[in-house]
Structure 1
Amino acid sequence: MRIHDLIHAERFFLSDGGLETYLIFDKGYELPCFSAAVLLDSEQGRRDLTEYYERFLDIARQSGRGFVLDAPTWRAGVSWAGPLGQPVSEVLQTNERAVRFVSEIRMRHEEDALPILVNGLIGPAGDAYAPDEILSSQDALLIHAPQIHALGRAGVDMISAMTLTHAGEAVGMVRAAAEIDVPIVIAFTLETDGRLPSGQPLADAIGEVDDATGNGPAYYMINCAHPDHFRDVVETGGAWTSRVGGIRSNASRMSHAELDEAVTLDDGDPGELGRLNAELMRFLPNLHVVGGCCGTDHRHVGCIAINERCRPAA
């Protein structure tokens, strides 16, 4: 299956939820640098990842949705090699191992009624909640190309750049993916005012990236923000909304600064989150992928999958 089929499918596809927050708060893992890729190094870790993904695959199957299966590589870029205490070569090998791992899961579960795309995740070179450094597009290209190329060699169907804080880094990522002709999705994170952490309005960021790359991204996503933080932005409308193809929202209404300091998980109301996502679909005509981010799990994605029947959590 190719991303073309996802974009033109009559039904939307699901993704998983907040993998890292689930592993930390529900499974008790200590993830260095918030990297879920470290679980690939142990048998127990691989079992927990498999169980996690399979629960979401069951939801997709039961609700008649397709599924975007993420390799756990969000924090497996070369800029994280030093903080993780690993050589760059080892980090890049981790990306290839992660793709093989989720590809095997796909082989066991994919069927005509459950189409699955393998998605390579990449994240920002710095803090995903606050841009400690604004990268130029050229610097971003040099930083992210090794990981993007490794994911491409491993055979991903697509790449998603998640929790991006500024447009320049996104431009470099898109250009790196174009070098190997792999479709890429750009997902910006938004603050409580609906703007990127850099302060740029979402519409302007999408326009900047499209102008610099010739509409290079397959589509854009919004992730790591509660629907209340950006509903007004998408409701206002504009031609740019046709470029938004995915939403992975947070369960919590807290700001990024508050989430960064939280010692307990705010998992919000799964039923409410399902209904809020359903409302957003009215303003985003080309929505293809819907799932969760921080604080969400199978309960939230289950409500999103059957959004027309969601009820408040008990």
Structure 2
Amino acid sequence: MPNTIADGGIETALEERLGQSLREFAAFELLETEAGRAALAEYYTPFIELAIAAEFPIALDTPTWRASSAWGDVLGYDAAALARLNRSAVEFVREVASNVDGNATLTVGGCIGPRADEPVEGEFMTAEEAEEYHLPQVRALAAAGANRIGAVTMGYVNEAVGIVRAATRMDVPVVVSFGVGADGLLADGTTVSDAITEVDRATNEYAKGFMVNCAHPSEAAKAIGNLTTTDRLAGFRLNAARHDDDTADSPEIFAAQLLELRELAPRAQLFGGCCGTDVPHIAAVAAGLAADGDE
């Protein structure tokens, strides 16, 4: 895969740039109304335009981070509604890209988030439970033609294993992205290195690769500083601010720190944003890649 840019932090951008109020940070609900779909299109469009202008492929995740059953229960969506919305999300992202430029080099990631934002000991699912929990969403996203499943902000190994196994059953590629804290560790205290090893061992290395997301570049550096091998690290989607400091870096500083991670992960090829990032941050990343001759 050539170097590829991704979009930014969809939920924070929708609220801060586009004035949307998201219940439980659930962007998928916007697919239900014309106004909501217009806001989503306004979110995605400038990233697609940027990728075309900069001549980079782009990977866009669907707005379905919350579109699984536990969050559906909180928000009032049954299984049938969630399946419909997951399918619609894939179709919507492709439609937006087509409306901008049908020749854009686009990868659509079917985004799956964790069952709980801050899982704690005693509430972790087994790998088998996680597989059955996430299977309906994987099935819907795969049926709609997502190029891959993106397991995002995973906080412990068993949930990641379950999603990879569900993707295996649906014969769809999957990339696992671990969320880490200020200490560079997963919520269960596991290092990224050990998490990659354990997921690969439990799934016969089915995942196409692994990422780190929802952390500041300095925190991601801690997370990958002890990797025994970087062969499986595919990229980063990171925050503009640290967990313990709300001060956001400028797009230029964010991009420089993000791209410095290539020294620790030379095989990483996907670069994008998470919380607090938007088009200017990804534009700076694209400019940095181009300046390094990585078009």
TM (norm. structure 1) is 0.88
Q: Is 2:256 aligned against 1:275?
A: yes
Pairs within 5 Å for 1:230-309: 230-239=220-229, 241-255=230-244, 266-307=247-288
Question: Once the 2 structures are TM-superposed, how far is the Cα of residue 200 of structure 1 from its aligned partner?
Answer: 0.6
**Aligned counterpart, 2:66:** 75
**Aligned counterpart, 2:203:** 213
How far apart are the structure 2 equivalents of 1:251 and 1:201?
22
Map Cα deviations across residues 222-274 of structure 1 (whole Å, 9 max, x no partner).
000001112144344421x211101001000124xx77xxxxxx542111111
How far apart are the structure 2 equivalents of 1:237 and 1:206?
9
How far apart are the structure 2 equivalents of 1:131 and 1:218?
28
Pairs within 5 Å for 1:1-314: 7=1, 9=2, 12-110=3-101, 114-127=104-117, 129-131=118-120, 133-239=123-229, 241-255=230-244, 266-307=247-288
| Structure 2 residue identity aligned to 1:222 | V
Map Cα deviations across residues 118-174 of structure 1 (whole Å, 9 max, x no partner).
1110000111x4447211100001100000001111111111010010000000000
Higher mean displacement: 216-225 or 60-69: 60-69
Are 1:193 and 1:230, in contact at CA under 8 Å, matched by a contact in 2?
no
How far apart are the structure 2 equivalents of 1:220 and 1:305?
21
Are 2:5 and 2:51, in contact at CA under 8 Å, matched by a contact in 1?
yes
| Structure 1 residue identity aligned to 2:206 | G
| Structure 2 residue identity aligned to 1:49 | L
Higher mean displacement: 173-182 or 278-287: 278-287
How far apart are the structure 2 equivalents of 1:291 and 1:268?
15
Are 1:131 and 1:166, in contact at CA under 8 Å, matched by a contact in 2?
no
Question: Once the 2 structures are TM-superposed, how far is the Cα of residue 304 of structure 1 from its aligned partner?
Answer: 0.9
Question: Once the 2 structures are TM-superposed, how far is the Cα of residue 309 of structure 1 from its aligned partner?
Answer: 7.8
How far apart are the structure 1 equivalents of 2:220 and 2:4?
21
TM (norm. structure 2) is 0.93
| Structure 2 residue identity aligned to 1:285 | P
Map Cα deviations across residues 172-210 of structure 1 (whole Å, 9 max, x no partner).
000000001100010000111111111111100110000
| Structure 2 residue identity aligned to 1:279 | E
SS in 1 for 2:234: strand
Distance 1:24 1:130, change over 3 A: farther
Distance 1:235 1:110, change over 3 A: farther
Question: Once the 2 structures are TM-superposed, how far is the Cα of residue 110 of structure 1 from its aligned partner?
Answer: 4.9
How far apart are the structure 2 equivalents of 1:154 and 1:162?
19
Query: Identity percentage over the alignment?
Result: 37
| Structure 2 residue identity aligned to 1:276 | Q
Q: When the two structures are aligned, how many residues end up with a matched partner? A: 290
